């Protein structure tokens, strides 16, 4: 991603771009679910959407289904996009709350086109539209991360990026200021550069091992520190959503691709052994496993600085937030946007790094709080993990948001928020926080008119969802990938 977008956007300023990677070390390769801004990144690269889906065995994602999170047996959907038809989601929530408070029961979820379409296995488009996706404003993708990387490698190499298949064995620092001078490779060669982008994964080869930047640990709020992943055969219809199922010591993801389903159990090693996690995962697959389970370890948190001296850390080298809301790949792409906006010259003015770090830290912290909400706002007390999460203190900005919503459904907007009112409303309501009051101004309106407005919106949404193409038909017609070649 970094090499591709830098090659495309820097134009004549770009000089030489080299990617150094070691097949001996390999990639994590499990990032498979995304959020809608990925489409902006692909479009900045100039990729055709259907070609991208074909190349990556991709599918459409309309949101995430959360099972057993607020309590066992309860399911809610966090859709992309807004609620209602032509109304602002926060205003719609107030109308809905006024009916609830007067004893009328009706569903808020049915006011989301993505939610209704996802439940029907459809992709929410206007009836009869050939180019169905063009009429959907809020969707993302599931894809095979390894295939996306291979696709972007081809893209970058076609734009003059060179690739060195070698292991970095040493990092040389300039004695005068501690900037990185060069990397030493395992064949004895030396690579000098002005700017180093550290994409070396959890190890943070440059940002941490060489520059000793430091790490802020968030395990006290997000205690899961392991994952076990396994792909399996597809079974049943192709669901246009990610599923996240809360389990005793964490949660399990299910990500449907064209050629397989990606699965994993993110768990807390304080409460569950690796063997138990693998056994739970293997017992909860849709189809036959395609591989042996693969174990991963992580520490939730972030580097103290993302840009230090002449090194910018991206991806797992910059920090880790568990993939509950599919935000890691997005953070890489945002990091690249900010790097392009603040691109340095050889003097590396510290103000540029300061601004990059200010933005990146705020973004990370806002997303962190959104993820913590899923753990904190739960009625579950059936296992030590959930009891600990219910009892924990959360960061004050999140506590404040929860108080505001619990009082009267007010959604607080903070700078650097990735998730906006519809996202917060979906998860706050879904996790069981029901506002005690509503905006008194709504009581000036005739209740029958409010009911009619919501009924009409609900009916229009259902009609549109039922008329939309089925997900698998859309894929078959527009972007069916070639069957994978057996290894």
Site for ligand FAD in 364-383 (CB under 6 A): none
Residue 201 lies near ligand FAD (rule: CB under 6 A):
yes
Q: Which is nearer to ligand FAD, 71 or 153 (CB)?
A: 153
Residue 301 lies near ligand FAD (rule: CB under 6 A):
no
Residue 298 lies near ligand FAD (rule: CB under 6 A):
yes
Residue 326 lies near ligand FAD (rule: CB under 6 A):
yes
* C-alpha distances in Å from residue 13, one per residue of 9, 10, 41, 343: 9, 5, 20, 10
Residue 333 lies near ligand FAD (rule: CB under 6 A):
no
The binder of ligand FAD chosen from 8, 9, 14, 22 (CB under 6 A): 22
Q: Which is nearer to ligand FAD, 93 or 118 (CB)?
A: 118
Residue 277 lies near ligand FAD (rule: CB under 6 A):
no
Instruction: Locate 410 and state its tokens.
Output: 């007010």
Closest CA to 229 of 28, 442, 384: 28
In the complex, minimum distance from the CB of residue 262 to ligand FAD, in angstroms, rounded to a whole number: 8
Residue 121 lies near ligand FAD (rule: CB under 6 A):
no
Report the 10 Å Cβ neighbour count for 475: 23
Instruction: Locate 400 and state its tokens.
Output: 């404040």
In the complex, minimum distance from the CB of residue 35 to ligand FAD, in angstroms, rounded to a whole number: 8
89: exposed, middle or buried (Cβ count in 10 Å: 0-12, 13-18, 19+)? buried
Pair 293, 161: CB distance under 8 Å: no
The binder of ligand FAD chosen from 8, 9, 14, 27 (CB under 6 A): 27
The total number of residues written for the chain in this structure: 487
106: helix, coil or strand? coil
What are the beta bridge partners of residue 170?
Answer: 184
* C-alpha distances in Å from residue 402, one per residue of 392, 395, 461: 14, 11, 29
Q: Which residue is nearest to ligand FAD (CB)?
A: 315
Residue 168 lies near ligand FAD (rule: CB under 6 A):
yes
Residue 28 lies near ligand FAD (rule: CB under 6 A):
yes
Residue 335 lies near ligand FAD (rule: CB under 6 A):
no
In the complex, minimum distance from the CB of residue 192 to ligand FAD, in angstroms, rounded to a whole number: 16
In the complex, minimum distance from the CB of residue 77 to ligand FAD, in angstroms, rounded to a whole number: 17
Residue 246 lies near ligand FAD (rule: CB under 6 A):
no
Longest dimension (CA), the chain: 79
Alpha helices in 377-446 (DSSP H): 384-391, 396-408, 421-430
Residue 418 lies near ligand FAD (rule: CB under 6 A):
no
Site for ligand FAD in 226-245 (CB under 6 A): 227, 229
Residue 150 lies near ligand FAD (rule: CB under 6 A):
no
Q: Which is nearer to ligand FAD, 9 or 167 (CB)?
A: 167
CA angle, corner 371, sides to 243 and 415, nearest 5? 125
In the complex, minimum distance from the CB of residue 461 to ligand FAD, in angstroms, rounded to a whole number: 28
61 is catalytic: yes
The residues, any chain, with a CB within 8 Å of residue 440's CB and separated by 6 or more, are: none
d(CA 190, CA 114): 52
Report the 10 Å Cβ neighbour count for 132: 22
Q: What are phi and psi of 297, to 5 degrees?
A: -120, 145
Residue 261 lies near ligand FAD (rule: CB under 6 A):
no
Q: Which is nearer to ligand FAD, 5 or 30 (CB)?
A: 30
Residue 329 lies near ligand FAD (rule: CB under 6 A):
yes
Q: Among all chains, which residue has been given the structure tokens 């899961």? A: 224
**Around 132, how many Cα atoms within 13 Å sit in the side-chain half-sphere?**
25
Residue 262, H or E segment: strand 261-267
Residue 147 lies near ligand FAD (rule: CB under 6 A):
no
d(CA 16, CA 21): 16
Q: Which is nearer to ligand FAD, 200 or 252 (CB)?
A: 200
Residue 205 lies near ligand FAD (rule: CB under 6 A):
yes
Binding region for ligand FAD (CB under 6 A) out of 22-30, 107-115, 270-278, 405-413: 22-30
Instruction: Locate 405 and state its tokens.
Output: 């919503």
Residue 32 lies near ligand FAD (rule: CB under 6 A):
yes
Contact residues for ligand FAD, defined by CB under 6 A: 20-22, 25-28, 30-34, 145, 167-168, 199-201, 203, 205, 227, 229, 264, 296, 298, 315-317, 323, 326, 328-329
Q: Which residues are catalytic?
A: 61
């Amino acid at each position: 991603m970094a090499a591709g977008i830098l090659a495309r956007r820097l134009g004549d300023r770009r000089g030489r771009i080299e990617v150094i990677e070691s097949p001996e070390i390999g990639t994590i390769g499990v990032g498979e679910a995304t959020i809608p801004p990925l489409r902006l990144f692909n479009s900045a690269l100039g990729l055709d959407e259907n070609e991208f889906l074909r190349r990556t065995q991709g599918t459409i994602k309309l949101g995430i289904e959360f099972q057993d999170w607020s309590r066992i047996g309860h399911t809610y959907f966090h859709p992309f996009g807004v609620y209602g038809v032509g109304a602002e989601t926060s205003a719609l929530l107030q109308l809905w709350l006024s009916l609830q408070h007067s004893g009328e029961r009706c569903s808020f979820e049915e006011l989301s086109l993505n939610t209704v379409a996802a439940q029907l296995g459809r992709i929410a488009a206007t009836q009869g539209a050939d180019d169905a996706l063009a009429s959907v404003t809020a969707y993302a993708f599931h894809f095979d991360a390894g295939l996306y990387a291979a696709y972007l490698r081809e893209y970058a190499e076609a734009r003059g990026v060179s690739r060195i298949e070698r292991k970095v064995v040493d990092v040389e620092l300039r004695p005068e200021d501690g900037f990185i001078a060069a990397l030493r490779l395992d064949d004895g060669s030396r690579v000098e550069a002005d700017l180093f982008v550290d994409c070396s994964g959890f190890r943070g080869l440059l940002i941490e091992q060489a520059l000793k930047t430091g790490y802020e640990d968030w395990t006290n709020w997000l205690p899961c520190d392991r994952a076990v992943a396994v792909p399996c055969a597809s079974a049943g219809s192709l669901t246009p959503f990610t599923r996240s199922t809360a389990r005793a010591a964490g949660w399990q993801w299910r990500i449907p691709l064209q050629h397989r389903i990606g699965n994993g159990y993110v768990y807390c090693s304080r409460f569950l052994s690796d063997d138990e996690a693998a056994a739970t995962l293997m017992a909860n697959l849709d189809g036959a496993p395609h591989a042996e389970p693969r174990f991963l370890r992580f520490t939730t948190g972030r580097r103290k600085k993302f840009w230090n001296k002449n090194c910018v850390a991206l991806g797992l080298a910059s920090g880790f937030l568990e993939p509950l809301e599919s935000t890691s790949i997005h953070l890489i792409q945002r990091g690249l946007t900010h790097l392009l906006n603040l691109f340095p010259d050889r003097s590396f003015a510290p103000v540029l790094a300061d601004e990059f770090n200010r933005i990146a830290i705020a973004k990370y912290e806002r997303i962190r709080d959104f993820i913590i909400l899923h753990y904190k706002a739960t009625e579950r007390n059936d296992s030590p993990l959930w009891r600990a999460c219910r009892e924990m203190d959360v960061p004050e900005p999140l506590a404040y948001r929860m108080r505001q919503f619990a009082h009267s459904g007010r959604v607080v907007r903070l700078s650097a928020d990735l998730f906006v009112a519809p996202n917060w409303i979906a998860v706050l309501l879904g996790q069981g926080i029901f506002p005690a009051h509503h905006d008194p101004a709504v009581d000036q309106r005739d209740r029958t008119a409010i009911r009619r407005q919501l009924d009409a919106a609900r009916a229009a949404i259902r009609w549109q969802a039922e008329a939309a193409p089925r997900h698998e038909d859309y894929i078959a017609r527009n972007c069916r990938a070639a069957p994978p070649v057996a290894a």
